[in-house]
Amino acid sequence: MSEIEPGQDPGREDPRIASLEKRIEQVEHNERKRTGQRDPVAEENNRLGNRVLAELVGGLAGGALIGWFLDWLIGTSPWLLLVFLFLGIIVAFRNIIRISTKRSGRPGR
């Protein structure tokens, strides 16, 4: 009985403490928003999404540009454009798969 203070039920959480924790969390959230701090997990996910988008667009655009230039140079229109476009798609998806299967560098993951 000595570790339990009088008047408190050990099975129930004090509603005042729960309310205080909720208010503290709300104030911390408002302060992060006010100072411009962002959630680091959300930032990492945004960076990863942007990288995937860049890989996809870069692969398509790069393949199409190289194919178009070689077609213009050699005069085999549109065959090299199609070949390099498909190669660009394959490379883009390979890079996206490699990005998505890479293990996170954070401990505990």
**One pLDDT digit (tens) per residue for the chain, 109 residues:** 455 566 656 667 778 888 999 999 999 888 888 887 777 778 888 899 999 999 999 999 999 999 999 999 999 889 999 999 999 999 999 999 999 898 665 554 4
Residue 70 covered by a domain: yes
Residue 48 covered by a domain: yes
Residue 25 covered by a domain: no
User: What letter does residue 77 receive in the DSSP assignment?
Assistant: T
Residue 58 covered by a domain: yes
Residue 33 covered by a domain: no
From the CA atom positions of the chain, what is the Rg in Å?
Answer: 28
Report the domain count for the chain: 1
Cβ atoms of 88 and 63 within 8 Å: the answer is: yes
User: What letter does residue 47 receive in the DSSP assignment?
Assistant: H
Task: Specify the pLDDT at position 109.
Answer: 47
Closest CA to 81 of 92, 102, 67: 67
Task: Specify the pLDDT at position 1.
Answer: 47
pTM of this prediction?
A: 0.58
Cβ atoms of 95 and 62 within 8 Å: the answer is: no
Collapsing DSSP to helix, strand or coil, 64 comes out as: helix
Amino acid identity at 103: R
